[in-house]
Amino acid sequence: MLAIPFVKLSDRAKMPEAAFSDDAAFDLYSAEDGVIPARGRATIGTAVAIEVPSGYCALVLPRSGLASKFGISVLNSPGVVDAGYRGEIRVVLANHSESEFVVKPGDRIAQLALMKIPEAKFIEVESLSESTRGLGGFGHTGR
């Protein structure tokens, strides 16, 4: 099991936790009061800092319940927490509804998933290999 060190930056902080043992992501909780205006956005603090192991990153993802019930999503989804970052995890929430959304300390606002990052580097070449898709970009399949 991968152990992730974390620090609570205030008394309002809650440890990221999974609801079930086989969940893919850990809930992130608000540590502050906030209001996300209708059709607006706000950055909400969790008052948690984590130490992501080298070779991994943490992805901040939306919660499906907030999206389906209230139109709330993570604006820069997925947000990336790099292994070298030691600051507070803050979540940029977007409100796609016509009503303001109130956030209270302890509310589940996002989820955090860990991902192994392969070692990779870019190498410049003269041309790329052929593929079935080729240069087809946005909407090229007609869907």
Percent of residues in the chain assigned helix, strand, coil, to nearest 5: 5, 35, 60
pTM of the model: 0.89
pLDDT confidence of 103, banded at 50, 70, 90? very high
Centre a 10 Å sphere on the Cβ of residue 35 and count the other Cβ atoms it contains: 12
What 3-state class would DSSP assign to 112? strand
Read off the pLDDT of residues 15-74 as tens digits, 9 standing for 90 and up: 999 999 999 999 999 999 999 999 999 999 999 999 999 999 999 999 999 999 999 999
Q: Decide if domain 6-116 falls under CATH 2.70.40.10.
A: yes
User: Which H helix or E strand runs over 24?
Assistant: none
**Is residue 53 classed exposed, middle or buried when 0-12, 13-18 and 19+ CB atoms within 10 A define those classes?**
middle
**Phi and psi torsions of 30, nearest 5°:** -70, 145
Read off the pLDDT of residues 104-140 as tens digits, 9 standing for 90 and up: 999 999 999 999 999 999 999 999 999 888 877 777 7
- Please list the alpha-helical segments (H only) found in the chain: 64-70
How far is residue 140's CA from residue 135's CA, in Å, rounded to a whole number? 9
